[in-house]
Amino acid sequence: MDIAKTNRLSLVEQVVLQIESLIESGKWSVGTRVPPELELMQQFDVSRNTLREAIRALVHAGLLKTRQGSGTFVSSSSVLGAALNRRIQKSNILETLEVRHALEREAAQLAAIRRNEEDLDRLRMCIAACQAAADAKDLQAYAESDIKLHQAIAEATHNSVLIDLYEHMTESLQASVHNLVEITSHTDSDQKIHSKLVAAIIEQNTDQAVEAVNEYIYQFKEALSLDIGGSS
């Protein structure tokens, strides 16, 4: 049997892997401007052409984004996150909502079973932040608090795959949450359902946790259908 020789990584591939590691470790967070070209050339000990080729590959993958006249910025926390973002951008808001429904329903159920005291403290802080934003009628803050709440629920599942998947989807979900909040503007009723969800997780009531997820997803779908009908 013929066995192909293994290929050693090229300099470009090595630089790509090192930058990916910097991004995924959080040392280069989303929105951060990457260091100047000369500094990176010295840091990685590579030529300008090698560095630029690596940067182009990462821009193509969706981890970096160049802004003319401003520089290059981190646009995603992982290759998976970038891929999900590209895919979600090609879908409509209803499709994204259906994916959220499936993911969050399972997360709510597992969180109700597995949550610990540290998880509960985080959930209480998140629901309080949501309430403060709802009281202030601050849709931007509410959308951001909503995402953090659902991240906390995902973390309470203690399922590493689900946590990673939800974390990588966060950037894309952020856009869908903002759109849905703008469409519904029902932060008060939405907040009541989220409070019901958190209470169910605290009480380890899986049925009520799933029911709460179903309820707010149904509410979003109803608002979405009315918005589409009204604009058609």
For position 51, what pLDDT does the model report? 95
Cα-trace Rg, the chain: 21
Higher pLDDT, 69 or 15: 15
- Residue pLDDT, tens place only, 107-118: 999 999 999 999
What ranges do the domains of the chain cover?
Answer: 11-76, 81-231
**Position 6 confidence tier, pLDDT thresholds 50, 70, 90:** very low
For position 216, what pLDDT does the model report? 85
- Residue pLDDT, tens place only, 177-187: 555 555 455 56
CATH class belonging to 11-76: mainly alpha
C-beta neighbour count of 218 within 10 angstroms? 12
Q: What is the mean pLDDT of residues 74-93?
A: 71
C-alpha to C-alpha distance for 31 and 137, rounded to whole angstroms: 27
- Residue pLDDT, tens place only, 59-83: 988 889 998 888 999 988 777 667 6
Asked if the model's pLDDT at residue 125 lies above 80, the reply is yes
Asked if the model's pLDDT at residue 199 lies above 90, the reply is yes
The one-letter code for the residue type at 164 is D
Higher pLDDT, 175 or 166: 166
Asked if the model's pLDDT at residue 100 lies above 90, the reply is no
Per CATH, 11-76 and 81-231 having the same topology is answered no
Residue 65 sits at φ, ψ, to 5 deg, of -140, 130
Domain 81-231 has CATH 1.10.10.10: no
The pair of three-digit structure tokens given for residue 227, joined into one six-digit string: 């918005």
**Position 164 confidence tier, pLDDT thresholds 50, 70, 90:** confident
Owner of token pair 């821009």: 59
* Residue 127 DSSP SS3: helix
